[in-house]
Amino acid sequence: MLSIEALSHTYGALTALTEIDLEVAAGEVVCLLGPSGCGKSTLLRLAAGLEPLQQGRVRLAGEIVGEPRFTVPPERRRVGMVFQDFALFPHLTVAQNIAFGLADLPKAEQQSIARLWVERIGLADLAGAFPHTLSGGQQQRVALARALAPSPRLVLMDEPFSGLDVTLRDRLRDTTLALLTEARVATLLVTHDPDEAMRMADRIVLMQAGRIEQAGQPLDLYDHPVSAFAAAFFGSVTILKAHAENGQVVTDLGRFDVPVQSGPVTMIVRQEALHRALEGGVMATVAAARSLGREHLLSLMLGATAVTARWVEGRLPKVGERIPVTLDRHRVHLFPPEG
Amino acid sequence: MALGLALLLALPVLTIVGSFLFPALDVWAHLLSTVMPTYLYNTVLLMFGVGLGVAVIGVGTAWLVTLCQFPGVRAFEVVLLLPLAFPAYVVAYAYTGFLDSAGPVQSLLRDLTGWGFGSYWFPSIRSLGGAISVMVLVLYPYVYLLARAAFLEQSVCVLEAGRALGQTPFGCFRRLAVPLARPAIAGGVALALMETLNDFGTVQYFAVDTLTAGIYRTWLGMNEPAAATQLAGVLLLFVIGLMALERHGRAGSTRHTSVRYRHLPRFPLTGGKAALAMIACLLPCLLGFFVPLLMLLSWAIETAPTMVNTAFWQAAEHSLLLAASAAGMAVALALTLAYAVRLHPTPLVRWATRSASFGYAVPGLVIAVGVIIPLAAFDTALDTASRAAFGVSTGLLLSGTLVALLFAYVVRFLAIALNATEAALGKVTPQMDFAARSLGRTAGQTLWSIHLPIIRPSLLAACLLVFVDVMKELPATLILRPFNFDTLAVLVYAMAGDERLADAAPASLAIMLVGLLPVLLLAGALARSRPGSLPRVSAREP
């Protein structure tokens, strides 16, 4: 549905995006994931037509909507948008907000569609309320309904959950996903939260410094990161320096094959790579231990190497205690040093 | 389009700047050898006197009402604003009557002492000192408003730390509060001085030879437009200095060390101190508002039956018509420019909009001169062309018409509308624009269906402010109005010129009553505003 080809963008001397290629199919949820300033919001604005395109091409359903010196204005793109601050119109009621994008339809039809949507988002009794009287979660649902009501081809969401508190987020992610799936709409969602991306996305596009670092299915990115950055972005890790010789590194954690013959390598150990061994395993010294309730967070010394670990098994070890641990080698990633 | 509009609005000022940069040397030699030294001397003295006066009264009263506790302090907070309702020339006329030999003050003096007419010395209000006094009384609220806001914004902690470090309340005021509020005070003084330079009615009536009075006399009295234009250029230099001062004030006023606002604990004053504080607050509003009001009322009771006549109603109609059209045009233009900046925030558009609002600081007389020169040139060129092509004379098409007058008003007062509009548009987040655009509305439709409903109250307030300023405006109206087209302000001026002060009172009161509207609005905003927040509406705060 949305297709972005070879898109680059600069703000003065600052390069925001470099050679971006991206596809979003109908019914698919694609998450643009990355730290703040990686260019993901700029990409969203360019897809929406809120900014003129400098280089590259944007197509919607095969039709070119953005090229250098040619931009179809946002109002003619049939693209829905949901914002971090929801941007509900303060002078319009919930129903009027939802009906805002239906101006082409006769009044009666506008009203019946708006009614349908307030019911679908469970706010039927608040149809006549003004936005400032709603809770954050209710506002978010209205914003989503407003974007979906005109049956857009594509929905763009910019950090749609980060204005909400944590407990609310989980519930709203599921509701949102259900509504998006039901609408069979192509969705491009921007977030800096890897958990959110893992949870919502059919595909994740990980961005860094204006480039696509890695794109693929959520589990692919977690299991097979292409770089130390990609590996470290999902969850907490310990980053170690090691030295390769003859295509191998030997560390306190064991012997690993590496993609370089010799020279320095970066070793990423996920916190969930280490587990308390029930039998066998290597001995580690507990340097610090703290229970987070459902799991334990530990600093362990394996030989001279300090790593952090997070597991649920057993009781909380004491500081100074020596315990046997096993290493899940699929949760350890090795890369040649970057740049 | 916005660029073209901005350029058009900057035309009068550019005209003056242009002719000032390429002066006729003989005109200058003449000016320097005759009137220029007097004009400069009087203007500088007037500015110095008014600046000092408004600073002392404005800062003093602001400090008393924000940080001290004495009977009536809440009422004084609002009442101190009232003099803003008067144009200076009306107060000048009122005091002339109040203090002249037949007026209530001297009559009382003679009754008390038994002195005869003319047998004693009494200070004349029609002097430089008188002009300074009148303008201080009318203009101190500018400083009061900004200083008050600055005191409220000051972190309580700073003042409490001052007390803890052994300063007396007055020591805190002198060593902490005033230095911290200095940018705001400078800004207020700059605004008051801009109004001082703009004032024409007072200095003309009091026969104080300032630059402003000089421009009028040179233009209309001596019929020397070239010299008047040069004088206007000199006046513009003063204005540029004041703008720099005011800008400096605004830049500095945003520097707060603390963002936490707490209701300021007031120093309780008792006994003699409380009485002194009350007198200090009472005198400015008494002298700046109630005395002239009573004087006008006592005249008006006498003269209203004859003076509220056809001419009065016609002038009132003209004033309302002009003020309403100018307000509508200024706000519509301001909205166009502000929205253009929002859609295309390029440096060029920003700069153009800024330069279009330059007029707020420029005296009405200077704008009038700057409007008349290009319009007359246009008329002459059109007339010549028309006569050459069709053998028909078009005459004066634009100069001396309402078009010229409205143009001058819009140039002068656009900044008020622009500031209010920009502040209001700031309340509509860019995301709301994006949302509306993505929901199928064009930029124009978005303005209509989103921005306008949200900012309507602010736009109405902006309309009101421009409306009132046009009602009070005298010098530009005087020069640019069509022949025999009187407004209330012109009526008052003309009658005062004929020494018919009492006859002018009904029209003066009418102007004052309209002027009271934004003051009440402002008072309401002040009463509602939480400590530390600036009121949304203020009289002329660019």
Dist. CA B284–CA B55, nearest whole Å: 13
Residues (pLDDT < 70) of chain B are 1, 154-160, 162-163, 166, 169, 249-265, 394-397, 399, 527-542
Q: DSSP states of B57-88 as a string?
A: HHHHHHHHHHHEE-TTHHHHHHHTTGGGGS-H
Query: Taking CB atoms and an 8 Å limit, are B434 and A104 in contact across chains?
Result: no
**Mean per-residue pLDDT of chain A:** 89
Whether A218 has its CB under 8 Å from any CB of chain B: the answer is no
Question: Under CATH, what is the fold of the domain B35-252+264-301+508-542?
Answer: MetI-like fold (1.10.3720)
Whether A104 has its CB under 8 Å from any CB of chain B: the answer is yes
Residues of B in contact with A150 (CB under 8 A): 439-440
Residues of A in contact with B448 (CB under 8 A): none
Q: Would you state the structure tokens that stand for residue B87, as one six-digit string? A: 């144009």
Nearest CA in chain A to B454: A91
Query: Taking CB atoms and an 8 Å limit, are B434 and A83 in contact across chains?
Result: yes
Is residue A109 very low, low, confident or very high in pLDDT (cuts 50, 70, 90)? very high
Nearest CA in chain B to A100: B439
Which among B425, B427, B439 is the top mutation candidate for probing chain A, defined by the most A β-carbons within 10 Å of its own β-carbon? B439
Which among A75, A85, A86, A185 is the top mutation candidate for probing chain B, defined by the most B β-carbons within 10 Å of its own β-carbon? A75
Whether B126 has its CB under 8 Å from any CB of chain A: the answer is no
> In this complex, which of B429, B438, B441 lies closest to A81 when CB atoms are compared?
B438
Whether B442 has its CB under 8 Å from any CB of chain A: the answer is yes
Task: Please say whether the beta carbons of A2 and A47 come within 8 A.
Answer: yes
- For residue B464, the model assigns a pLDDT of 86
> In this complex, which of B429, B431, B442 lies closest to A75 when CB atoms are compared?
B442
Q: Which residues of A26-55 are buried (b: 16+ CB within 10 A; e: fewer)?
A: eebbbbbbbeeebbbbbbbbbbbbbbebee
State pLDDT tens for residues A226-247. Answer: 988 999 888 888 998 888 888 8
Query: Taking CB atoms and an 8 Å limit, are B434 and A90 in contact across chains?
Result: no
- For residue A108, the model assigns a pLDDT of 92
Whether A73 has its CB under 8 Å from any CB of chain B: the answer is yes
Let me know the angle formed at the C-alpha of A133 by A128 and A137, rounded to the nearest 5 degrees: 100
> In this complex, which of A80, A87, A150 lies closest to B429 when CB atoms are compared?
A87
Whether B346 has its CB under 8 Å from any CB of chain A: the answer is no
- For residue B542, the model assigns a pLDDT of 33
Whether A328 has its CB under 8 Å from any CB of chain B: the answer is no
CB atoms within 10 A of CB B307: 20
Please provide residue A98's backbone torsions phi and psi, each rounded to the nearest 5 degrees.
-65, -35
Distance from the Cα of B14 to chain A's closest Cα (Å) equals 32
Task: Please say whether the beta carbons of A332 and A297 come within 8 A.
Answer: no
Percentage of chain A beyond pLDDT 70 is 99
State pLDDT tens for residues B2-44. Answer: 778 777 888 888 888 887 777 777 777 777 777 888 889 999 9
Distance from the Cα of A219 to chain B's closest Cα (Å) equals 33
**Beta strand ranges found along B406-541 (DSSP E):** none
Dist. CA B453–CA B465, nearest whole Å: 20
- For residue B156, the model assigns a pLDDT of 62
> In this complex, which of B429, B437, B449 lies closest to A74 when CB atoms are compared?
B437
- For residue B328, the model assigns a pLDDT of 93
The residue-averaged pLDDT of A53-70 equals: 90
Dist. CA A278–CA B241, nearest whole Å: 83
Residues of A in contact with B437 (CB under 8 A): 50, 73-75
Dist. CA B246–CA B240, nearest whole Å: 10
- For residue B137, the model assigns a pLDDT of 94
The pairing of strands A203-208 and A29-33 is parallel
The residue-averaged pLDDT of A298-318 equals: 89
Chains A, B: CB contacts under 8 A, how many? 65
> In this complex, which of B432, B436, B438 lies closest to A80 when CB atoms are compared?
B438
Give this prediction's pTM. 0.77
Residues of A in contact with B435 (CB under 8 A): 81, 83, 87, 89, 143, 146-147
CB atoms within 10 A of CB B490: 19
Architecture of domain B1-23+308-503: Orthogonal Bundle (1.10)
Residues of B in contact with A50 (CB under 8 A): 434, 437
Task: Please say whether the beta carbons of B115 and B109 come within 8 A.
Answer: yes
Residues of B in contact with A100 (CB under 8 A): 436, 439, 449
Of B231, B202, B242, nearest to B368 by C-alpha is B231
Distance from the Cα of A270 to chain B's closest Cα (Å) equals 38
Distance from the Cα of B405 to chain A's closest Cα (Å) equals 37
Query: Taking CB atoms and an 8 Å limit, are B435 and A50 in contact across chains?
Result: no
Whether A83 has its CB under 8 Å from any CB of chain B: the answer is yes
Whether B14 has its CB under 8 Å from any CB of chain A: the answer is no
Whether B454 has its CB under 8 Å from any CB of chain A: the answer is yes
CA distances from B499 to A32, B495, B502 (A): 79, 6, 8
Cross-strand pairs, A206: A33, A214
Whether A46 has its CB under 8 Å from any CB of chain B: the answer is no
Distance from the Cα of A42 to chain B's closest Cα (Å) equals 13
CB atoms within 10 A of CB A157: 26
- For residue B529, the model assigns a pLDDT of 55
State pLDDT tens for residues A203-217. Answer: 999 999 889 999 999
Q: Does position A5 have pLDDT exceeding 60, yes or no? A: yes
What is the SS3 assignment for B336-402?
HHHHHHHHCCCHHHHHHHHHHHHHHHCCHHHHHHHHHHHHHHHHHHHHHHHHHHHCCCCCCCCCCCH
Which among B433, B438, B442 is the top mutation candidate for probing chain A, defined by the most A β-carbons within 10 Å of its own β-carbon? B438
Give me the sheet containing A79-82, strands edge to edge. Answer: A79-82, A154-158, A186-191, A29-33, A203-208, A211-216
Q: Does position A265 have pLDDT exceeding 60, yes or no? A: yes
Whether A146 has its CB under 8 Å from any CB of chain B: the answer is yes
Task: Please say whether the beta carbons of B281 and B64 come within 8 A.
Answer: yes
- For residue B395, the model assigns a pLDDT of 66
Delimit the domains of chain B by residue range.
1-23+308-503, 35-252+264-301+508-542
- For residue B531, the model assigns a pLDDT of 44
**Beta strand ranges found along B249-308 (DSSP E):** 267-268
- For residue B354, the model assigns a pLDDT of 76
Asked if domains B1-23+308-503 and B35-252+264-301+508-542 share a fold, the reply is: yes
> In this complex, which of B434, B435, B440 lies closest to A103 when CB atoms are compared?
B440
Whether A79 has its CB under 8 Å from any CB of chain B: the answer is yes
Whether B347 has its CB under 8 Å from any CB of chain A: the answer is no
Query: Taking CB atoms and an 8 Å limit, are B438 and A73 in contact across chains?
Result: no
> In this complex, which of A81, A90, A150 lies closest to B454 when CB atoms are compared?
A90
- For residue B251, the model assigns a pLDDT of 66
- For residue B215, the model assigns a pLDDT of 86
Nearest CA in chain B to A104: B440
Is residue A115 very low, low, confident or very high in pLDDT (cuts 50, 70, 90)? very high
- For residue B534, the model assigns a pLDDT of 39
Q: Would you state the structure tokens that stand for residue A261, as one six-digit string? A: 């013959």
State pLDDT tens for residues A133-149. Answer: 998 889 999 999 999 99
Distance from the Cα of A326 to chain B's closest Cα (Å) equals 50
Q: Would you state the structure tokens that stand for residue A232, as one six-digit string? A: 């470290």
Q: DSSP states of A133-170 as a string?
A: GS-HHHHHHHHHHHHHTT--SEEEEESTTTTS-HHHHH
- For residue A145, the model assigns a pLDDT of 92
Whether B431 has its CB under 8 Å from any CB of chain A: the answer is yes
End-to-end, the C-alpha distance of chain A in Å comes to 35
Query: Taking CB atoms and an 8 Å limit, are A89 and B442 in contact across chains?
Result: no
Whether B436 has its CB under 8 Å from any CB of chain A: the answer is yes
> In this complex, which of A48, A85, A103 lies closest to B438 when CB atoms are compared?
A48
